[in-house]
Structure 1
Amino acid sequence: MDFTLTPEQQLLSDGLGKFLDARYDLQVSRDAAKVGEGWQPKIWKAFVEDLGVVGACLPEDIGGFGGGPEELMVVTEALGHALVVEPFVDSVVLGAGLLHATGNPVALAAAGRIAEGEALSALAALEDGSGGVLSRIETSADRDGDEWVLNGTKAVVTTAPLADYLIVSARTVGEPHDPAGVSLFLIDLADGGPKGLELHRLRTIDDRQAADITFTDVRLPADALIADENAIEILEKAWDTATAAVVSEAVGLMRKVFTDTVEYSKQREQFGVPIGSFQVLQHRMVDMHLELEQSVAAQYFAILSLEGSPAERAAAISAAKATVSRAARFIGQNAVQLHGGMGMTEELAIGHYFKRLTAIEYEFGTADAHLARFATATAHIDA
């Protein structure tokens, strides 16, 4: 199998890499995440207008450039390598990608705004007690004349405080654990959103903005329904695509962490010699390298399986996420240990990368959850 990038993909990779090296300052981005707006609008504008990154993986009919899974891999790995805080996965992959998949005119218009850099979106899908299963939904949507009435809660919705649009999964028919009956609604958050919608803002361990959301008799117009009670299929595919994107982001993060750790071991001296000359530490870094290479293989497997059958896609994505979750912990923790106490300081990049790797370990499902999903998916393939 040939993993060589096409000339166009290589150009995208080189252009984005050079831009991030020259203009993406780590300290400025961390300040934006910790005490600022949570992102950098000027950088996002450059992603849209100068680099075409936002549209690179989106269909042409909403203003994108028609890129596929390989372009997604190129972009997200580069964003991970630079520890980019801007919500590419949340707003572009999950947001615009899911909106486009519905085929709904209102959703397509919103997706077009995201592709043009005029709006951001967030997906409110998971709930407390759902165990990461998208179909375990208790949030309800009931028809009342020409309107829909939403009631329920959603947990840790990343990017929600920054979003212009909120995509909400709610049950319109069926029982709480029934895959059938899950519908999607699009909420315009202009002027704070509709009455009864409350965002309880919080920050994640890696300094991203998020919110727990409560819906109390939230009334929405009829056209807010963008996908009917069979929406679980497109929702799961968009979720898998976003999971593959985060896997690729993690590879970029781990490449940076591993490279910086090796360089540090060549410079830091103990007993008059570089610590990299100690055989026990060399063995530790070899183990880190092996975890990284396994993650790269899992990344390719996931990306190339996105267009497969639902069972094949689920198996590949879950195998990749379980692999990367293990590697993220191993590489992150060992990088910090090899740097000593300074590994967790605000001044050193390693500590910030470690926080993001820790978040990715649990984001879009834990290793245990994905191992269980992998077992289920492979059983269906074998059958």
Structure 2
Amino acid sequence: MDFGLTPEQQLLRDGLAKFLGARYDLTISRAAAKEGAGWQPEIWQAFAVDLGVLGACLPDEIGGAGGGPEELMVVSEAVGHALVVEPFVDAIVLGARLLHRTGTPSALALAERIGEGEALTALAALEEAGGDRLSHVATRADRDGDEWVVTGAKPVVLSAPLADHLIVSARTSGAEGDRDGITLFLVDVGETPAGLTSHEFRTVDDRRAADLVFDGVRLPADAAIGPIGGGLPLLERAWDEATAAVVSEAVGLMRKVFADTVEYTKQRSQFGQPIGSFQALQHRMVDMYLELEQSVAAQYLAILALDSEPAERAAAVSAAKATISRAARFIGQNAVQLHGGMGMTEELAIGHYFRRLTVIEYEFGSQDAHLARYAELSRTRD
């Protein structure tokens, strides 16, 4: 099987890497995340307009370049390598690509605006009682004349403080845990709707998130996007795509962390010689390299399966995420240890990369959760 990139994909990769190397300063991005708006809108505009990066991962029907899983892999890995804090996965994968699949006119129009860098969305899907299970939705949406009335809570909604629209999963029929009866709703939060409460906070890896409470929030009839009661399959596909994108992001992160660690051990001296010459540390770095290469293979597995049947797609993505979760912990912790106390300082990049890898270990499901999912899918297919 050929894993090589096409000339167009190579241009996308090289152009984005050149841009990030020249214009994406880690100190500035961390300051924006910690003390500013939480991101750099001018960088996002450059992604959309100057580079066409956002459209590269979107279908032609919404103004994109028709890119698919491979383009998603290229961009996500570059985003990880540069530790980009802008919400690429939230806006493009869980936003525009999901909106496109609903086929609803208002959703398609918003998806096109996202690709142009003019709008941002955040997905509010998981709930506290359901863990990482998308079907466990207790939030309800009931009809009241020409309106929907939404009541429930969605914790830890990533990028919600940055978004002008929310994509919310709510139950329009059935009981919590049922696969049927889940509908997706588009909520305009430009002016906070009555009954919506948002508690905003910053995550350990400098992302912005919010706990959302819907207390009788009234939405127009056309706020429902996609099939009424049939939103779960759309949600599951978007979730698998986002998981594969985060797997690719982790590969970019680990490539950078590994390269920086090797370079550091060549420069740091102890007992009159570089610590990289010590055999025990060489063995440690070989183990890190093996974890990285296994992660690259898992990344390809997930990306190449995204257009497969749901069960095959889900199994490949879970296998990849379980592999990445293990590798992220191993490479991140060993990189910090080999750097010594400096590895956790704000001044050194390795500490920021380590925190992001630590979050990725659990984001979109932990290693144990994905191993359990893979085992369940294997039993079902057998």
TM-score, scaled relative to structure 2: 0.99
The amino acid that maps onto 2:207 is R
* Match in the other structure for 1:195: 194
The amino acid that maps onto 2:195 is G
Report the alpha carbon displacement of residue 30 of structure 1 after superposing the two structures with TM: 0.4
* Match in the other structure for 1:71: 71
**Structure 2 residue 205 is matched with structure 1 residue 206:** yes
Q: Distance in 1 between matches of 2:42 and 2:67?
A: 24
* Match in the other structure for 2:25: 25
Contact 1:319-1:374 at 8 Å conserved across structures: yes
Report the alpha carbon displacement of residue 275 of structure 1 after superposing the two structures with TM: 0.4
The amino acid that maps onto 1:322 is A
Q: Distance in 2 between matches of 1:376 and 1:56?
A: 35
* Match in the other structure for 1:181: 181
* Match in the other structure for 1:146: 146
State the secondary structure of the residue aligned to 1:160.
coil
Q: Distance in 2 between matches of 1:295 and 1:98?
A: 26
* Match in the other structure for 1:162: 162
Report the alpha carbon displacement of residue 264 of structure 1 after superposing the two structures with TM: 0.2
Aligned length: 381
Report the alpha carbon displacement of residue 381 of structure 1 after superposing the two structures with TM: 2.4
* Match in the other structure for 2:291: 291
1:25-81, Cα deviation, whole Å (9 max, x unpaired): 000000011111111011011001111001101011111110010010000000100
Describe how 1:211-360 pairs up with structure 2 within 5 A.
211-227=210-226, 228-360=228-360
Contact 1:77-1:250 at 8 Å conserved across structures: yes
* Match in the other structure for 2:133: 133
The amino acid that maps onto 1:33 is A
Q: Distance in 2 between matches of 1:368 and 1:223?
A: 39
Point out where structure 2 has 5 or more consecutive residues left out of the alignment: none
Report the alpha carbon displacement of residue 116 of structure 1 after superposing the two structures with TM: 1.0
Report the alpha carbon displacement of residue 131 of structure 1 after superposing the two structures with TM: 2.0
Q: Distance in 1 between matches of 2:311 and 2:302?
A: 12
Q: Distance in 2 between matches of 1:177 and 1:94?
A: 21
* Match in the other structure for 2:380: 380
Q: Percent identity?
A: 73
Report the alpha carbon displacement of residue 379 of structure 1 after superposing the two structures with TM: 2.0
Contact 1:312-1:378 at 8 Å conserved across structures: no
Q: Distance in 1 between matches of 2:131 and 2:345?
A: 33
The amino acid that maps onto 1:296 is V
Contact 1:29-1:85 at 8 Å conserved across structures: yes
CA RMSD in angstroms comes to 0.6
Point out where structure 1 has 5 or more consecutive residues left out of the alignment: none
1:104-135, Cα deviation, whole Å (9 max, x unpaired): 01111111111111000000000102120000
Q: Distance in 2 between matches of 1:126 and 1:119?
A: 22
Q: Distance in 2 between matches of 1:19 and 1:217?
A: 45
